Amino acid sequence: MAKLQNMRGLQNFISDIRACANKEHEKTRVDKELGKIRKKFASGGNISEYDKKKYVWKLLYIFMLGYDVEFGHKQAADLIPATKYAEKQVGYMACAILLNEKDEFLRLIINSIRNDLISKNEAFQCLALGFVGNVGGQEMASLLAVDVMNLLTNGAVRAIVRKKAALCLLRLLRKAGPEADILQADTWSVKMANLLEERDPGVLLAIVTLLLGIVSRSYEGYEGLLPKLVAILDRLKKREVQPDYTYYGIASPWLQVKCLRVLQYFPITDDPALLNILLEILRKIITGTEVAKNINKNNANHAIVFEAIALALALEADTELLTASVGLLGKFISVREPNIKYLGLENMVRLAEVPAVNDAIVRHQKSIVASLKDTDVSIRRRALDLLFTMCNRNNARDIIHELLEYLEIADFSLREELVLKTAVLAERFFPDLHWYVDVMLTLIDRAGEFASKDIWHSTVQIISNNEDLHEYGARKVYEALQRGSVHEALVCTAGYVLGDYGNTMKGVPPSELFALLQERFPSMPPHAKGILLSAYLKLCLMAPQDIQLKEQVMEVLSRYARFMDADLQQRAVEYMGLVMHPDVAKRNVASKPPWEKRGSLLLRRLMHRAGGEEPDEQEHKPVWMQDENGDAVESPTAVQFAPPQAVPTSPSANGHADDDLLGEEAAANGDLPPASIPQPVDPLADLYGLQTGPAPAQALPAGPADPFSVSGDPYALTGGQSGADLRPSGDTEEWFRRLCASSNGVLYEDSCLQIGVRSEGFRGPSGQLLLFFGNKADAFLERLLCVVPPTPQFQFQLGAVPARLEPKKQIQVPLMVACVSTFLDAPRLQISYTLASGQQCNQSLRLPLTVNKFCRAPENAIPADMFFTRWRTLAGPPQKVGERITRTLQLSKPAVEKLILDMGLGPQPGLDPSPDNLVAAATFCFAPPGQQPQQVACMVRIEIERTRRLEAQVTVATPDVNVTASLKNLLVQLITKL
C-alpha cells in the first residue's frame, strides 16, 4: 500500500474521529470534513494530485465508518490514469469500494484499465486485474476478456500476475452469461492443457479453479484434460511440491480438493488404464486417511476425503471402495465435532442410495439413531434423511419404531417432515397389513396436528379395501379413543372407520361409539364435524332399535340444522330425514365405490414438499399395490356390508368435499332427496327465530334463512343488487381482528357507508357497543335497516335506527349486550341500505363480541401452587387444547404481551420456567337468565420457539369446552397476524 504516514491531514482526521465522545460528535466531525472535501472538489483545477489522493482516502475512511458518500466518485476515477503507483492504487481501491458493476462511472475508466493490462508494469497489471476481478461486469467481459487471456497464457509474466489473471477471467466468465462464448472449447481446451503443465502450485490452483467454473457450465470439448488432472493428483499424492505449499504434511490440500471437484463433472472415462490410476488414488485417499490430533490437519484431510467419496460415487466405483468409504464415514458420525458429524451424515446419505453398500451402512444404525437426538437441528435433519434413505424391508421395523419414539420429543420444525417420512416408510415396507394399521394409527395419534390429510386418508383406504382389517381397524381406533386421543386426524379416522365398521366389533354397542365421538365433537373444525355427522347417521342405522341413540343423534342433528355453516346445516337436515325414514335411507344410500388404482399420495406430498420432481411410480409403488414380483395389481373392490352406509345426496356446499375420501354419494335412483323428506315441526326452524309461529321443517332452505342474504352464504360480504362500487374498501376480517383487541375502530366501510364501533362498560357478563353509522355519499341512504339476529348465548337491546341517513352525517346507535351462556362464534350484525339510484347493499358482519370481551384479568398475581393445581386438574382436551403457529416474521415477546393486555387478559410473570414464554389468566363471566352470574377460570400459555422465533404454541385450559375452543382460536388468529 501507499505510505499513509506522510498524510498528516488524514492522520489528524482519524485521530479526531477516535477522540469523539459519542456518535453525535462523530457525525458532526464527519459532516464538517465532508463539507470541506466537497468545497475542495468544487474548486476545479486548483487541487493537486496529492490533495486529491488524500481526500479520496478520507472519503474511503468515512464510508468504512458507515456514512453515505455521494460525491467524489469522479475524482477517484480520475486517479486511475495517474502515472504514480500511489495515486493509481487509491483510485482503483476507491472505485472498487464505492462503485458497483452497473455504475455509469465505470465506462469512463475502461480504457485506463485496458492500458494498465497491456502495459509492461506488473504492479499496474495486478491493480487492474484485482479491480476487474471484483467489480467487472458484462460490459467489461466483452471488452477486456481477450487482454486477460493474453496475460494468463503469457509465460513470461510473473506467477502473481497469472494467478490474478485466472481468477479475473473466472469473474468475467460468470458475468458474461451462458450465451456469451468468450472461451471457445475448440481453442481454449488446448491452451488449458498447456496451462495444466504448470509446476507452480499457486498458479495451478488458480487455473484449476478457472477450469471448475468452465466445466460447471459444460464439460464438452474439455474431455482431453482428464489425464492432466489425474497426473496432478498423482503428483500431489507423491508430495512432489515445494515445501511452501505443504500444509501439515499434506501436499497442497486446496489443489487436491479442486481437482477432485473438477473430475466429478466429467463422465466416466473410456480409458481403463486412466480409470485404474484414478481409482487407486481414491483408494489411497479413503483408506489412508487417519484422524490426527491437530484440528487443522484433520480439516484438510476431511475436505479431501469428502470430495474423494463424491468422486467415487460419480465413477460408480467397486463395492470394496464404497464399503471402505462407509466405514470411514461411520467414524465421522461417531465424533462430537458437529461439523464433521454433519458432513459424515450428508455423505452417507449419498452412499445409502447405492444398494450394494446398504448392509455396511446398517452396521452404523445405532450411531445414526443417536444423531437424531443431537442438539444441532441440522444434524438431526441429516440423520432423518439418512434413516429414510437406508430403510429397507429388513430394518424397516426397527427404523420406524425409532422414528415413532423420536416423534414424541422432536421439535416443531422437524415434526412435519418426520411424520411424512415415517408414513412413507410404513407404506413402502410394511411386512403385513395389521402392522401397518398399528403403525399408522400410532403415528396419527402422536403426530396430532402434524398428521396431514393424506396420512389418515391412506389409513382409511387400506382398512376399507381389506375385509380382514375391518374389525381390527375399528378395534384399534376404538382403543385409541378410549385412551383419550382427541387430535383432528385421529377423530376423522375414527369417524370413517367406526361409522363403516363399528358393527364388526362384538360387545361394543353403537351408543358407546357415539359417546366417544361426541366428546370430541365440539372442538373439531367444520369439515371434521361433517365427517362425524355422517358417522352418527351410520351408527344410528346400525342400531335401529336403540331409541336413546336415535334421540341423541337427532338432538345433535337438530341443533346443527340451524347452524351458520351451510355444509353442516345441509348435512344435518338431510340426515334428520334419513334417521326418521330408514326405509328411504336404504333405497337412497349407496355402498362405497372401489378404491381406484393410484400412486402414493404420501410420496407425492413428500416430493412436493422437498421441491423435487414427480416420483417414479414403478419404483415407489405402495406395497399393497404390488404383487410378489413388484408389478402393479388392480385395486381390490370395496367390501359391502349391511346395513348400507348413509351419506348426503349432494356434494359439500362449503368446500369440504376433499374430506369425503371414500366417495360417499347417494344414488340417483328416482327417490325423494333427503332434503324434501317431511321433518318434525320445530318452533325454532327459522334460523334467527324471526318467525312468530311454528313452521314445518321441510320449508327450511338448505342455506341460512337470512332476510338480507341473496346468495345463501351467511359469510358473503355483499348481496342483493350491490355493485362493485359498494364492495368493502378494506379487509373486513382485519377490521374485526383489530376490534377484538381494541375498544374502538372501524367495523365496515365502503364508498357510501362507514360503521364504527366503540366498546363501553364491559365489566363482566354485560356491556355496551356504540355503533356509529356515517353517510359518506352526497345523497340520502334510504331504507337503512340494522338487525342483530337473536342467539341463545346473548341477549341484545338495540337502539332505534332511522330509516334515512342524511348525506355527510353520522348517527350513534347503542347496542346493549348480555352474555347468558358460553359460546363459540361471535354474533352477527345484519345491515341493509338503498341508494337514491335504487341500488341495494346487504351486509352480514361479525360483531367484536369475542370471548375476551367478557373476561376480567385478576387484580393480583395468582400464586404458583394455585395456578398449577388448576392447570394439572385439566388433564387434556377438550378442556385443555393447543395449536402450533407458524409465521414468516419473527415473533417478539413484548408484542405478544401487549396483545394479551389489550385483550383484557392478565399476564402472570414468573410462572413459566422459560423467560421466552408467557402465562396469562382471566375469568370469563356470563349470567344465565334468572340466575347468579357464573365464572369460568381461563389459563393461557404461549410458548415462543427460541432460535428463529418463527413458531409458537398456544395452549388454553378452562373447565368449559366452548370457552377453551373460542379463546384458543381467537389467540391463534391474532398472534398469526400480529
Residues placed in the known binding site: 8-9, 40, 50, 54-58
User: Which is nearest to 286 in space by CA: 260, 265, 249?
Assistant: 260
Q: State the Cα–Cα distance between residues 850 and 902, nearest whole angstrom.
A: 13
Other C-beta atoms lying within 10 Å of the C-beta of residue 408: 8
Question: Taken in order 388, 391, 396, 401, is the CA torsion positive or negative?
Answer: negative
Question: What are residue 677's phi and psi, to 5 degrees?
Answer: -75, 135
- HEC string of 738-753 equals HHHCCCEEEEEECCCE
Pairing of strands 744-749, 250-251: unpaired
User: Which is nearest to 934 in space by CA: 794, 816, 821, 818?
Assistant: 821
* Lookup: cell for 765: 357478563
Q: Is 194 left (phi over 0), alpha (psi -120 to 50) or beta?
A: alpha
Q: State the Cα–Cα distance between residues 322 and 341, nearest whole angstrom.
A: 19
User: Which is nearest to 940 in space by CA: 843, 969, 680?
Assistant: 969
113 three-class SS: helix
Cβ-Cβ contacts under 8 Å for 780 (sequence gap 6 or more)? 804, 805, 806, 807, 836
* Lookup: cell for 533: 355427522
Instruction: Report the DSSP beta bridge partners of residue 816.
Output: 768, 797
Q: State the Cα–Cα distance between residues 239 and 251, nearest whole angstrom.
A: 5
User: Which is nearest to 841 in space by CA: 751, 968, 779, 730?
Assistant: 751
Q: State the Cα–Cα distance between residues 912 and 939, nearest whole angstrom.
A: 12
Q: Taking each helix axis as running N to C, give the angle between helix 412-429 and helix 396-407, from 0 to 180 degrees, rounded to the nearest 10.
A: 150
Start-to-end Cα distance in the chain: 53
Other C-beta atoms lying within 10 Å of the C-beta of residue 190: 12
Q: State the Cα–Cα distance between residues 317 and 354, nearest whole angstrom.
A: 11
Q: State the Cα–Cα distance between residues 231 and 234, nearest whole angstrom.
A: 5
The DSSP output letter for 697 is G
Question: Is the N-terminal amide bond of 643 cis, ω within 30° of 0?
Answer: yes
**Would you say how long the chain is, in residues?**
978
Distance of CA 934 to the CA centre of its chain: 42
Q: Taking each helix axis as running N to C, give the angle between helix 526-542 and helix 566-580, from 0 to 180 degrees, rounded to the nearest 10.
A: 0
User: Which is nearest to 717 in space by CA: 729, 705, 701?
Assistant: 729
The DSSP output letter for 698 is G
Beta strand spans in 136-222 (E): none
* Lookup: cell for 286: 479413503
CB 708 within 8 A of CB 720: yes
Maximal CA-CA distance, the chain:
110
774 three-class SS: strand
CB 419 within 8 A of CB 443: yes
Q: State the Cα–Cα distance between residues 397 and 416, nearest whole angstrom.
A: 21
Q: State the Cα–Cα distance between residues 183 and 171, nearest whole angstrom.
A: 13
Q: State the Cα–Cα distance between residues 673 and 685, nearest whole angstrom.
A: 19
Give the DSSP letter string of 807-855. Answer: TT-EEEEEEEEEE-S--SS--EEEEEEE-TTS-EEEEEEE-S--GGGGE
